[in-house]
Structure 1
């Protein structure tokens, strides 16, 4: 769980949050709220996963809770938007961080700071790293999980290293011109609460939710977890605590060196805040170390997503909602190799497509008074566009997955819930609060000019999925024995 969650958000999203929430207290509150939401969701989701510890995760939970249509739509959105976009974003960030490392080494050695690797070279390398991790996970789940464990240890250690770095600098060189201080944390709260734009806080919260994205990834692996009644809740709760502590601590550390105004500046849209933070603390070597941390973290989250991804297609294929080849295990390695390749191929296609939209501008299509502009929004970098698409899909369907707990509890026979090895505490308050807040976040995306297009297109994609299900469902029924 930790390995797939900690990826790019904690290093990049501070810029978006500062753009929309310029006060230190509210910015940190957004990160705390994200952790609280993850905790509430995890408390409820753990019971759902314990009830159905099967391969497929949310696909299984939604199918059992609402019907086959809900499971199919989750698969449609997860494959087309959520996980494939996440894989593409994480791979791109890993290569961009590698590019930063090369430039920083050149700068330190006197070789200049120019664009060492061309744009399309970086896109090819992004595709290559997705292919490499796919090959590792085809080779065996144990090998993929071993790589995940090593990368997770490195990234967690690095994240908490960032947190204590300002303290180390203060203890060793308190008189340095760029020594950490609390000056960027004041005033802590808005002078006029009536002037706070809560819709913008919602926009910032979407950025925070991207950083927490992936906490449900234990679900698709539930069938492979030993003692699921104990270990699924334990992993969710421990993971939630570690991640929230790391995220809040890292952002407090950022503010010890960088003001909200600087974080919101255009330079931070493409440069990870963590890189600038380390550069100010310990110079060019610090920026180099930060880029290594970001690259390791992105690769770790990328590998976790590649590891989990094929379980969805496998489960859908078993129900006749996807080609039967996707549930076939490779005879040598006993892994869902075909599903892995299909998922990774679609992620690579998104990378190349986004690269084309970044490098070239498409003509705007005119249909009378209706214009269709397929180009990227001029005020947003590709990273934020893709992550907003992914978050809209996850907010809708992951919230529905948590809400299945209401359905399962209402259908239980007398005393059935009491026999479970884990039960959601403070039911129904915990899942109700989670569902209510996430519903507000989803509605705010339609209300916000910064995220309205991503939400609208995402809703249209879901509608296409519903039509697709209506077409294939009768054919599937005829094929079933």
Structure 2
């Protein structure tokens, strides 16, 4: 019976995944373009103090994301494992550092990002229903939860359906931003660009400190977050050495170009004061320029964020799956459905954590927390690239970026985090504390091997019950390898259904 299940899962696992570059491109672009471009412009302008400096922050933010993505392209083809930052850091620095990255990501980074996108979705959907006030707290949370549950069901049911949704809604996202850009360019052609002229654009409402500029970059970085998410599904990308870099090289410049033009369009229609006072920037933009067709804008934004939720659910669940497969999370999360080959327990874990965050946080506070932890993770990972080159200089690297790329990124990273910590010690300090709470958890849960037998019995019993309830089982990488003869599987899989690795 076990051999049959393994064979069935093997057959299903061999179906085409992200074999076409347009799928990898849509996943990469779809994860970057979410709620950020509709939320972050307000925060970037608030901290930068002027339109001109805000636009510079957006362009430089894209350039920094491009440098980071080049480094991740090298890591992705050198260490071809799903799990992204976590897998690379674990391979390079060992279990403790990898676990701390995983701990902060699972506990706050990805559930918080998902919560922000889901709240943006519900706010824009409900804004036409409550045109003269902020949508009710309970209504936004309820709609966000329904959306999360639906997309979790989709991702549990079929990888192919989830990627098809991603393809469709990526086009929808670009169409929504394209509408904003076209309308903005029409305004500029009509001569409505006074706010964009240099002498007006660089009029500061207040002189920003270096710390405030750093916070502006953190706000912009939230809009660009997701540029590394294709690295989380490397094992599901066919020909990753070709398709992974190609998707990164196309998506980052495209997103930077689109974001910059979108902000120019915003400023062609709204004064800085109007933008800062708006609860939904794109809705205010539509009301000023689209008249009776302004309802198109919240619908377009809702479609954009819907696709963002789908993409983040897909990739964050693969992080949980990778962590469990390495033994850093309960083995339950390393299980996949025997027919659909989808990580159902990991998806349910991500969905549950996000719903909890939805109930306790507000959007702009959540962005500050998640942006700091994001940048901290990026820097540690890219520092690992340099260390890995020193540690294994003769290792074959299909892609090898110029040394100036990671060094430049790390210099900017150190300055940004230093000034951010100085300007917002509480927000950034909480992020560090959350990450460090993983140290005792690691030593008690992972490093301590001589646990009492009752603990092992309990841990082993949970996966067995899950197998029965969700029709899932543990499959390690070796079972998918065509080089492993099928007749060897029963010996290697004798403990699969008991939850032991």
Q: Same fold (TM over 0.5)?
A: yes
Following the alignment from structure 1 to structure 2, what is the Cα–Cα distance between the partners of residues 466 and 207? 28
Secondary structure of 1:309's match? helix
Which residue of the partner structure matches residue 97 of structure 2?
70
1:240 aligns with 2:252: yes
State the shift of 1:407 in Å.
1.8
1:305 aligns with 2:312: yes
Work out which of the residue numbers 269, 273, 277 in structure 2 matches 1:261. 273
**CA RMSD for the aligned pairs?**
2.2
Contact 2:111/2:350 (<8 A) preserved: yes
Structure 1 unpaired stretches of 5+: 105-112, 355-381
1:3-22 to 2 correspondence within 5 Å? Answer: 3-22=30-49
Which residue of the partner structure matches residue 4 of structure 2?
none
State the shift of 1:63 in Å.
0.4
Following the alignment from structure 1 to structure 2, what is the Cα–Cα distance between the partners of residues 218 and 399? 18
Work out which of the residue numbers 461, 465, 469 in structure 1 matches 2:438. 465
Work out which of the residue numbers 275, 281, 284 in structure 2 matches 1:273. 281
Following the alignment from structure 1 to structure 2, what is the Cα–Cα distance between the partners of residues 126 and 57? 27
Contact 2:30/2:170 (<8 A) preserved: yes
Structure 2 unpaired stretches of 5+: 1-27, 457-499
Which residue of the partner structure matches residue 127 of structure 1?
145
State the shift of 1:95 in Å.
0.8
Following the alignment from structure 1 to structure 2, what is the Cα–Cα distance between the partners of residues 237 and 48? 15
Following the alignment from structure 2 to structure 1, what is the Cα–Cα distance between the partners of residues 173 and 56? 24
Which residue of the partner structure matches residue 39 of structure 1?
66
Please list the CA deviations of residues 374-397 of structure 1 after superposition, one character each: whole Å capped at 9, or x if unmatched: xxxxxxxx2110111111111111
The verdict on how the C-alpha distance between 1:429 and 1:476 changes in structure 2, with shifts beyond 3 A counting, is: farther
Contact 2:187/2:268 (<8 A) preserved: no
Which residue of the partner structure matches residue 437 of structure 1?
412
Secondary structure of 1:102's match? coil
1:411 aligns with 2:391: yes
Q: Which runs of 4+ in 1 moved over 4 A?
A: 188-192, 476-481
Which residue of the partner structure matches residue 216 of structure 1?
228
Please list the CA deviations of residues 286-336 of structure 1 after superposition, one character each: whole Å capped at 9, or x if unmatched: 2x2221122111111111000111111111212221111111111231111
Contact 1:2/1:152 (<8 A) preserved: yes
Which residue of the partner structure matches residue 393 of structure 1?
373
Contact 1:63/1:70 (<8 A) preserved: yes
1:151 aligns with 2:169: yes
Work out which of the residue numbers 166, 173, 178 in structure 1 matches 2:184. 166
Which residue of the partner structure matches residue 75 of structure 2?
48
Give the TM-score of the pair, scaled to structure 1: 0.84
State the shift of 1:191 in Å.
6.9
Work out which of the residue numbers 363, 366, 381 in structure 2 matches 1:383. 363
Which residue of the partner structure matches residue 467 of structure 2?
none
Secondary structure of 1:335's match? coil
Contact 1:34/1:205 (<8 A) preserved: yes
Following the alignment from structure 2 to structure 1, what is the Cα–Cα distance between the partners of residues 406 and 136? 48
Following the alignment from structure 2 to structure 1, what is the Cα–Cα distance between the partners of residues 115 and 44? 22
State the shift of 1:186 in Å.
4.2
Secondary structure of 2:34's match? coil
Following the alignment from structure 1 to structure 2, what is the Cα–Cα distance between the partners of residues 432 and 333? 43
State the shift of 1:114 in Å.
6.1
Equivalent pairs counted in the alignment come to 426
Contact 2:82/2:233 (<8 A) preserved: yes
Following the alignment from structure 2 to structure 1, what is the Cα–Cα distance between the partners of residues 193 and 376? 40
Which residue of the partner structure matches residue 363 of structure 1?
none
Contact 1:101/1:292 (<8 A) preserved: no
State the shift of 1:75 in Å.
0.9
Contact 2:324/2:331 (<8 A) preserved: yes
Secondary structure of 1:54's match? coil
